[in-house]
Each structure stands twice: as C-alpha cells, then as structure tokens.
Structure 1
C-alpha cells in the first residue's frame, strides 16, 4: 500500500519526490492496510512533514490519497486529517522560535521559506499565473573566504534587510552565506535594492557583500532546488 500511495502522490504533484518518504509514512500505510488505529501514525507524519518544511495543504492532500486507497470511512478520514493537522501545527506554527526562526538573526529558517513558497505556487496554480511575474527573491550573499562567518555579521546584515523590507515580506537566512527576502515585484524594487546596497556598505564596510534579484522559476520543484543551492553553496 505504501508504494501505491507514493506513486499516486508523486503523480499528483508532490513537490520534491526525494523527500516524500519518511518513517511515519511507512507506519501510517501499515496501520491503514492492517485496519489498525491510524491516529498515532498520522500524528507522527504531521510532525515529520512539518519538520521537513512541507506545507499543511500539501501534507493533507498527500494523506487523503492514502485514505482513498484504503477506502477509509468519512469518520476515519476526518480523524486522520485532524491528527496530521494538529501535530503539524505543533511543530511548524506554535513554537516559532524553535522551528521557524533562525536563533542568530531572528529571520525565518529555510523550512519556513519553503512553506511560504509552497503557498505562493499553489495560489499561482489556481489563478493560472507565474510566481516569477509577481514575486522574487532579493539575495544578500558574502564570500566564503571573508570573515563574514563571524557570529556577529549575519545579525548586522539581518537588521539592514529588515530596515529596507519592513512590510509583509518573508525574510530568511539560508546557510552560512546568504540572507533572502521574498518580495512582491513592483515599481519600487530597483530603488529598494539600491537602498539596501548603500545601507550594507555603511554598516559593514569591510565585508565583501553582493545583493541581487533572483527570479523565481515556473515550477515549485525548481524553487526548492534554488533554495537548496543557496543553503549549501557560498558566493564565489
């Protein structure tokens, strides 16, 4: 049953195929196949999906596929969905400082940024628009050979980014070498990029820093790869 579930989920648009499997997915598939109470396994799946940065809507769409395969009753489907949603929120929403905020800068973590991007791509799919036409990533990066890995520097840069993007933008730290802002594309974008560059030059004059605008790709999977690249790679 687990293999059928995975195949249908991937065919239905699961964003990142290599991240679908987790121990709780096996446990939930076994519980459904054997007619056991799926609640504990569903709770475990919700926690593991949230920890991996999977959005709630995507997690629920995924378990509903399993419920259809297992021909669960409406009451059982509701119980599974509730268990997933509650446990997901316990990890992804309530303890924000642990799971959504980087402790050094106070910016969002990569996992939370993925959640926000997932929401944007789902909305774009419903409205038949391209995320890259409405949103972009402002990226701040520094060279790996500089002293920017000192603990105080990312916090200083984070304050500069907050000063320029002080509205509803999602601000995140990605790895050791990048901070990003998920912003709306508008007429003021070029001006704000210039302000950010000047502010960074004034606050950290000795640090080599780059600021650029990254267009978001058409597909959510490619956006995940972009985030992976920014997390793991450093500026040349």
Structure 2
C-alpha cells in the first residue's frame, strides 16, 4: 500500500503516537487494547533504521493471541505504513502475517492459567464444540440447554499485580458458584466466562457471582477496582460464530 501522507521521521515515542492515531482513523475497534510491548519494539526498530522482522512477527503473534483478525491486524499495519518509510511496508505486512498465522496454528501450551486456575480460550473452544455437536445430535439449538455467564472487570487504569490479583479473586468466586463441572475460562486480562447449563438457577447464580466478586474486591485492601459487570450471553446458532464471539469478548 503506497503512503498517502508525507513521511517524517520521529522518535520511537512520536512514531508510536502517530501510528496509534492513524490506526484509530482506519477503524481499530478497541483503542484501549491497541498498545502492547511489541508495538514499541516495532517503532524502536524503525527509528533505529534496523531490521523490523522479529519485532513485527512478535506483534503478529500478540494480535492473534488477543483475538484480533488478520484483516484488522493488517489494517493496523497500513496505519504504520502511512507514517513510516515505504521500504518497511512489505516486510511489516509479511512478518506480521507470519507471526499471526504461527500463533493461530500453534497448540495451546497449557490447559489452564496458572494464576487464576481458569482454562484457556483454546480449551473452552473445544468444550463449546462438544456442546454444539451434542445439540446437533439432539436436533436442537445449543442455546436451549447452554449459555455463557460473562464477567468483565474494568482494569484499564491498572498495571502489574493490580491487573492480576482481581482476576484471581474472580476465578476463586467462579469455582465456588459454578462447582458442578462447568467450564470456567479466562478469555482476556479482564474477562472470564462460565459455560453452564441454562436452567432456572442460572440467573440466580449470575447475581450471586456478581455479589461475591464485589464483596471480595471490597474486602481486599490490595485491590481497588470498580464492581464487575456480569451478564448472561446467549450462544449463537453456529459454532464458528461462537468462536468469533469468544475472541470478541476477550478483547
């Protein structure tokens, strides 16, 4: 893609800022999750006139792990290409694409997150597939018997341990409320879900979970975050759409 704007070299920080502005203008869906350490590595390489390949591959893997589609990832790279020297455009697109594909096709390294004890999105997708196949055999829609309870915390202004500890509390509360073999998964830094039976107790469990998490947050002096958002999410009719939904919820 040809540069549409004059290229003026900046410091790494300035380049990062201009890239983010351009990416937002091109339609990046979630501005709060745009910045990751790999972004800084890419900007450092460009401003140092160095090889950008390794940093761009890392960025591609990070975007895939965060559930960002390849199309959106490459539109983001087009935003960088608009403010970086044109010789970087093709290497950036190729390296990011390879990194993205590498992460998507790699087997999960573990079934559960070691801190929260919640299973990975990859494992949840396997359990979802089982639910959809069972519903197909019964000749019914999967949402008749199954649903998701989604828990989201606002951790946007927290870093380090202040981002990790609240989700540990969430995992503990989820295991106490959903203690009958439900799949409890960590979808992102601030989002968890429970794949549960849709019965007449589900709404009550969701309310109880919200109350328990709020209570634990209030009691812990090391945690200072707003109360959680907890809701019941209806599963879509198709499994492929459910996988996309998990990626979207985790962002």
Q: Report the TM-score when normalising by structure 1.
A: 0.56
Q: What is the match of residue 249 of structure 2?
A: 230
Matching residue of 1:187: 200
Asked if residue 51 in structure 1 is aligned to residue 107 in structure 2, the reply is yes
Whole-angstrom distance in 1 between the partners of 2:181 and 2:197: 10
Separation in 1 of the partners of 2:111 and 2:199? Answer: 27
Could you list the runs of 5+ residues in structure 1 that have no partner in the other structure?
Answer: 1-17, 20-47, 53-97
Q: Matches of 1:159 and 1:170 in 2, distance apart?
A: 14
Deviation at 1:144, TM superposition (A): 4.0
Q: Are 1:215 and 2:234 matched, yes or no? A: yes
Shift of 1:50: 7.9
Q: CA deviation at 1:125?
A: 1.3
> Tell me, what secondary structure is at the counterpart of 1:158?
helix
How far, CA to CA, are the matches of 1:171 and 1:193 in structure 2? Answer: 13
Q: Tell me if 1:202 matches 2:215.
A: yes
**Contact 1:160 1:200 (8 Å CA) reproduced:** yes
Distance in 1, matches of 2:215 and 2:139, equals 42
8 A Cα contact 1:146 1:207, kept in partner:
no
TM-score by length of 2: 0.53
Q: Secondary structure at the match of 2:117?
A: coil
| CA offsets 1:103-157 (integer angstroms, 9 cap, x no match) | 1211110000000000111111111111111100000001242438522111111
Count of matched residue pairs:
142
Query: 1:111, 1:130 → 2: CA distance?
Result: 22
- Of the three residues 100, 119, 131, the one matched with 1:108 is 119
Distance (whole Å) between structure 1 residues aligned to residue 134 and residue 177 of structure 2: 26
Question: How far does residue 163 in structure 1 lie from its aligned partner after superposition?
Answer: 0.8
> Distance in 2 between the 1:161 and 1:167 partners?
11
Distance 1:154 1:125 in 2: 34
Q: SS state of the match for residue 247, structure 2?
A: helix
Partners of 2:214 and 2:156 in 1: CA distance: 18
Structure 1: which 4+ aligned runs deviate by more than 4 Å? Answer: none
